[in-house]
Amino acid sequence: MTEKNSNAEKNSNEVIIGKLGKTHGLHGLIKIIPLTDFEGRFDDLKEVFVGGNLRQIENVAHIGEEIFAKFKGIDDRETAKNLTNKILTVPRSQAAPLDEGEFYTFDIIGCEVFDGEKKIGVVTEVLKTGSNDVFQIETADGKEILIPALKSIVSDIDIAAKKIFVSGYENAD
């Protein structure tokens, strides 16, 4: 499970949880496009940074399959339109808790990857493939390689040290 953080914000203390979309109705409701794997993330949220500005949430509504928010002080459609395409963030301290062995995407990005003592490169992206994640690695010579994030290949992830250790991975040059 992941919450996202853009490369520009990976060293930030904020975590991206969503983006605002189209307005709904005449009274300031605006669609939330979730950028998190955590169902119900928005249900109990009382405040969130919208484009970097802290905003109070009056109400979150589920209409069909979509989620909408009503922000305090945003009482009409035109004012709500000004929030469209703004990114929603929360302080890292409010990131959803993880189970053991789970990591946030933004914690993985920037980790150095090693095969034994040999440094392979640095994780630049985590690709979601459906069956398992894949680490996109940039090598020292600027090449890009992909390593599946499988227990049979990834032997250890040390987020505090920003290091990932792999074994059994053959780089097909």
Domain extents in the chain: 7-94, 105-166
What is the sign, positive or negative, of the torsion defined by CA atoms of 42, 128, 132, 123?
A: negative
**What pairing do the DSSP bridges indicate for beta strands 163-166 and 112-115?**
parallel
C-alpha to C-alpha distance for 111 and 123, rounded to whole angstroms: 6
Closest to 145 in 3D by CA, of 160, 161, 166? 166
Q: Is the pLDDT of residue 11 over 70?
A: no
Most confident of 28-42, 48-62, 158-172: 48-62
**Total residue count of the chain as it appears in this document:** 173
Lowest model confidence (mean pLDDT) among 50-59, 128-137, 140-149: 128-137
pTM attached to this predicted model: 0.68
Mean pLDDT computed over every residue of the chain: 87
In sequence order, the β-bridge partners of residue 48 are: 55
The single-letter code of the amino acid at 8 is: A
Q: Is the pLDDT of residue 2 over 50?
A: no
Q: Which residues contact 101 (CB under 8 A, 6 or more apart)?
A: none
What is the sign, positive or negative, of the torsion defined by CA atoms of 28, 33, 35, 40?
A: positive
Most confident of 95-99, 143-147, 165-169: 143-147
pLDDT at 9: 41
Q: Is 162 left (phi over 0), alpha (psi -120 to 50) or beta?
A: left
More confidently predicted of 169 and 171: 169
pLDDT at 77: 95
Q: Kindly report, residue by residue over 14-36, the tens digit of the pLDDT.
A: 888 999 999 999 999 999 999 88
CATH class of the domain defined by 7-94: mainly beta
Domain 105-166 maps to which CATH number in 2.30.30.240, 1.10.490.10, 3.40.50.1820, 3.30.365.10? Answer: 2.30.30.240
